[in-house]
Structure 1
Amino acid sequence: MRLVLVLGDQLSPNLSALKKADKDTDVVVMAEVADEASYVPHHPKKIAFTFMAMRKFAKRLRDDGWQVDYTTLDDPDNTGSITGELIRRASNHDAAGVVYTEPGEWRLIEALAEMPLKSHCLPDTRFIATHKEFEDWAEDRKQLRMEYFYREMRRKTGLLMDGDKPEGGKWNYDHDNRKPAPDQVEFDGPLKFTPDNAVIDLVADRFDDNFGDLQPFWFATDADQAQEQLSHWIAGGLPKFGDFQDAMLQDQPFLYHSLISFYINAGLLDPLEVCKQVADAYDNGDAPLNAVEGFIRQIIGWREYMRGIYFLEGPDYTARNGLDHSRDLPDLYWGGDTQMNCLAQAVKQTREHAYAHHIQRLMITGNFALLAGVDPAQVHEWYLAFYADAYEWVEAPNVIGMSQFADGGIIASKPYISSGNYIHKMSDYCGSCAYRVQDKTGEKACPFNLLYWHFLDRHRDRFEGNPRMGNMYRVWDRMDAEKRETVLAEADAWLDKLDDGQGV
């Protein structure tokens, strides 16, 4: 007999390791271990979600006839690591070896490869593009732009295709998906489910010092509940998702977003099946093309592209620092005092829900870290720790590449930076902020305004030749010299206060 490893983000009955195994002779191994729960200081909700979903999936496998050796975190025999549990279980069963599906983090891939057991690693077939398909697409390309990869995924899946042409005549309707925040949200947000209180108590006891609110806990924790949430969102949230997917409202953390990335990334929902259900809503006249295409692009385009980049670039990707940024991540990311309302709201939402949508991550917390010159490794660890949908294969390229430009431009053709004006346009945060978004200099000037120009000035040698940034430098150069000096001096003073731990 063999052991069959199932990790906490592989909770799918169609997992390749399960497909390869024999339920009559093989034993499934699942384990809640300290190494996985604490290699970064995970949000308590993320840990609780993973443990609850794992326990339910283990029961599902047992009900389906599998023998499952499951180790809880508080088991006195728990060795504390995935490899330790496999070695212990192999000894107990005199197992011939281990079969497992490729993990989504180099850290685990390397640990399993070095394990003193005969093992067989299988590809993760839950994704649309194989590693080889992505490598073949990337070969000899000067720029690895997601848009062109996305078109290949559309052709492969047939989603939103009219023969060999895109539905509606365009591949991308992003131009229609940039409306500012609405006056009111006509969707009641995600469904809320009853948690496993035993897991809640365990996580509360073991991880009470971790940043993040454990309760109230309402995530779906099995495939049926996740499907309920998907159906609920398709009916009520999808029709306006496209229009307002970039908008931000202070008292509306979810707006029209699906909140199913947790469930897809953990294996509770199949990404292609999700996209088919969303496409059906368009075919049935229940959702507009801009909303449906925008969502499907995130799944079969961006999500698949992120995974492709992660494995193409290799284990050193998370250590890259193309702009040589070295500032420590400030305390405000852990709820420290700040007068910047947009950052306070994004961090508060992260603390409460282990969730923030893509614009809050990219253009609030990510934009600030990039403008301030924060060490990208620290930014990467923060995102990996505190978002319930964050696994390194998807989080690292989003942060190291897209958000922090630390990979030198592999993913993004230019840094994703903005002044306060973008945040003002897309949110209601600025109206109740201590700073004034209209002020470019002075005591009340929005820090994003000061730091935007400071970033461009200190990285001029790198970016002034970028065709997408030339106009920014022309605007800077047309400013009065004295005003430029004032902007830079005030930005330096503001960063000094940040470094000194003063309230900013």
Structure 2
Amino acid sequence: MAVRNLVLILGDQLSPGLSSLKAADPAQDRLLMVEVQEEATYVRHHKKKIAFLFAAMRHFAEALKKAGWQIDYVPLDAEENTGNFGGEVERAIARHSPKRLIVTEPGEWRVRDAMSRWSDDFGLPVDILDDDRFLCSRDDFAAWAEGRKQLRMEFFYRDMRRKTGLLMDGGQPEGGKWNFDAENRKPAKADLFLPQPHQVEPDAITQDVLDLVDARFGDHFGDLHPFWFAVTEVEAEAALEHFIEHALPLFGDYQDAMLEGERFLYHSVLSLYINAGLLDPLAVCRRVADEHHAGRAPLNAAEGFIRQIIGWREYVRGIYWLKMPGYVEENFFGADRPLPDFYWTAETDMACLRAAITQTKEEAYAHHIQRLMVTGNFAMLAGVDPRQVHEWYLAVYADAYEWVELPNTLGMSQFADGGLLGSKPYAASGNYISKMSDHCAHCRYDVKQKTGDKACPFNPLYWDFLLRNEEKLRGNPRLAQVYRTWQRMAPEKQADYRKSAKKVLARLG
């Protein structure tokens, strides 16, 4: 049949309500989905992440065919596969001679930049449509940010609550407060009845992908098996319902907690499904709000969960598009240390880092406190190059795409943007990890020891970080008391901190 429009569907656009699908007609248009080497290797993505996306793409393509769409699906191992989006679009244009190319805007700047040249490259109109799966458009975020000296998420979040009506009582927040974060910082205790995420046995389509990934990306980071991620909309919905029934009521209380040997606690493990398009973010939030209104989830749990989606998720996406392409180069502290090897091997005596990285290697998942206050905190205290930290996070997590990962890493975790996102660096000594976890009981270092060879490395590194960056941080009002504490220390204690930090850094190479 004659093809009117060629419609490209990307690997994180697995949504039946996608704007490009809504603009197309199954009777006249042709869909294109491609597995390309470039997207799997521009950073060396975790094997589970590659397998999740390719398997989810293949299942989505099957669902589109059943819905009546004509689709070209190019698997990675197709002999003629050029390995990149541009090459595959060019081949599809040669096959079908469409009058127009339609695509929903990609999430990453580098792909959007390449698409901006496609009309000239291919000699036909290219319509790049807004991704209306997000609740705040790029233009709306830019309008919100205009004229503000500091772009604080809390104020953006309140606007999103008003816009969506989620957990609102007229014009006021339910419970009289916008944010219940202060109630969500309880340490957890080991419990035989801690819930586990919904797990799915791989079907034949997924098994083919696992075999492909094992053959083509066997030298990438991470364990491929066992593979239990949902790869269809139906199974992702089942994962949502499983979380709501088994974990949501206690999600709020323990969302910052960490336990040795417990990888999921009460977390949802839904971000990879939301970010790939298998779950609709607003529908997820409404489902959680309904659960609260039915009396089955406390307000602190529902609010804390919803804030992560309509607050942080929307906010960091806005920051990303507002500040790219230069944002990736931000390095406020001038940090230049290479990323330590143990971020790839988990071979470290620090129990908290060993647990977080081992879990990352095996599951392609770690929750936000493990990312922020363990792996991220250590990297910042040690002065690791934030670009390398960013590329590690982008590679190793199944939910990581540059639009969401980059601002979280450079801005929130590493303070590399100098305070655009955060009012102060998320720097902490071992005391924070001891308070929020039981890792210290399993560590060869002593968290109560501040200096010396047995001291928790976070302790001397905390002060060393503040001293290295004193010129840039002393004026921060939230750190004034910290610097006064340093000034009151005895000179010999200060010298011990400096000496211990120097030894820790020397061991990092």
Alignment of 1:183-202 (within 5 A): 183-184=190-191, 186-195=193-202, 196-202=206-212
Aligned match of 1:37 in 19, 37, 40? 40
CA distances 1:258-300 after superposition (whole Å, capped 9, x unpaired): 0000000000000000000000000000000000000000000
What percentage of aligned pairs have identical amino acids? 58
C-alpha distance in 1 between matches for 2:446 and 2:189: 22
Deviates more, 1:156-165 or 1:21-30: 21-30
CA distances 1:406-448 after superposition (whole Å, capped 9, x unpaired): 1111101110010000000001110010100000011101000
C-alpha distance in 1 between matches for 2:53 and 2:73: 14
Alignment of 1:331-342 (within 5 A): 331-342=341-352
Deviates more, 1:417-426 or 1:116-125: 116-125
Q: Secondary structure at the match of 2:482?
A: helix
- Residue 189 of structure 1: how far off its partner (Å): 1.0
Identify the residue that residue 58 of structure 2 maps to in structure 1: 55
Which ranges in structure 2 are unaligned for 5 or more consecutive residues?
none
- Residue 337 of structure 1: how far off its partner (Å): 2.3
Q: Is the 8 A contact 1:6 1:29 kept in 2?
A: yes
- Residue 226 of structure 1: how far off its partner (Å): 0.4
Deviates more, 1:189-198 or 1:158-167: 189-198
Amino acid at match of 1:120: D
Aligned match of 2:263 in 246, 253, 260? 253
CA distances 1:195-245 after superposition (whole Å, capped 9, x unpaired): 221111000000110110000000000110000010011011000000000
Identify the residue that residue 407 of structure 1 maps to in structure 2: 417
Q: Is the 8 A contact 2:346 2:358 kept in 1?
A: no
Aligned match of 2:100 in 87, 94, 97? 97
Taking a change above 3 Å as real, the CA distance of residues 74 and 21 of structure 1, as seen in their structure-2 partners, is same
CA distances 1:367-389 after superposition (whole Å, capped 9, x unpaired): 00000000000000000000000
C-alpha distance in 2 between matches for 1:475 and 1:180: 27
Identify the residue that residue 189 of structure 2 maps to in structure 1: 182
Identify the residue that residue 432 of structure 2 maps to in structure 1: 422
4+ residue segments displaced more than 2 Å = 185-188
Amino acid at match of 1:31: V
Aligned match of 2:300 in 272, 290, 293? 290
C-alpha distance in 1 between matches for 2:188 and 2:346: 27
CA distances 1:315-357 after superposition (whole Å, capped 9, x unpaired): 1211111110000001000015211111111000000000000
C-alpha distance in 2 between matches for 1:314 and 1:438: 42
Q: Is the 8 A contact 2:46 2:221 kept in 1?
A: yes
C-alpha distance in 2 between matches for 1:161 and 1:182: 33
Aligned match of 1:155 in 146, 162, 172? 162
Q: Is the 8 A contact 1:343 1:364 kept in 2?
A: yes
C-alpha distance in 2 between matches for 1:111 and 1:273: 32
- Residue 187 of structure 1: how far off its partner (Å): 3.5
Identify the residue that residue 502 of structure 1 maps to in structure 2: none
Q: Is the 8 A contact 1:327 1:374 kept in 2?
A: yes
Which ranges in structure 1 are unaligned for 5 or more consecutive residues?
500-504
Does 2:28 correspond to 1:18?
no
C-alpha distance in 1 between matches for 2:164 and 2:234: 25
Amino acid at match of 1:349: Q
Deviates more, 1:107-116 or 1:297-306: 107-116
C-alpha distance in 1 between matches for 2:391 and 2:332: 17
Q: Secondary structure at the match of 1:210?
A: coil
Alignment of 1:267-286 (within 5 A): 267-286=277-296
- Residue 145 of structure 1: how far off its partner (Å): 0.3
C-alpha distance in 2 between matches for 1:341 and 1:183: 16
Aligned match of 2:83 in 74, 80, 83? 80
Amino acid at match of 2:487: D
Q: Secondary structure at the match of 1:468?
A: helix
Aligned match of 1:303 in 313, 337, 340? 313
Instruction: Report the TM-score when normalising by structure 2.
Output: 0.97
Q: Is the 8 A contact 2:156 2:311 kept in 1?
A: yes
Q: Secondary structure at the match of 1:411?
A: coil
Aligned match of 2:111 in 102, 108, 113? 108
C-alpha distance in 2 between matches for 1:77 and 1:472: 61
- Residue 183 of structure 1: how far off its partner (Å): 3.5
Amino acid at match of 2:445: Y
Does 2:138 correspond to 1:131?
yes
Q: Is the 8 A contact 2:346 2:353 kept in 1?
A: no
Identify the residue that residue 407 of structure 2 maps to in structure 1: 397
Amino acid at match of 1:187: L
Q: Is the 8 A contact 1:106 1:315 kept in 2?
A: yes
Deviates more, 1:143-152 or 1:185-194: 185-194
Aligned match of 1:214 in 224, 232, 255? 224
Amino acid at match of 1:147: E
Q: Is the 8 A contact 1:49 1:219 kept in 2?
A: yes
Amino acid at match of 2:99: A
Deviates more, 1:159-168 or 1:184-193: 184-193
Amino acid at match of 1:208: G
Aligned match of 1:170 in 159, 177, 188? 177
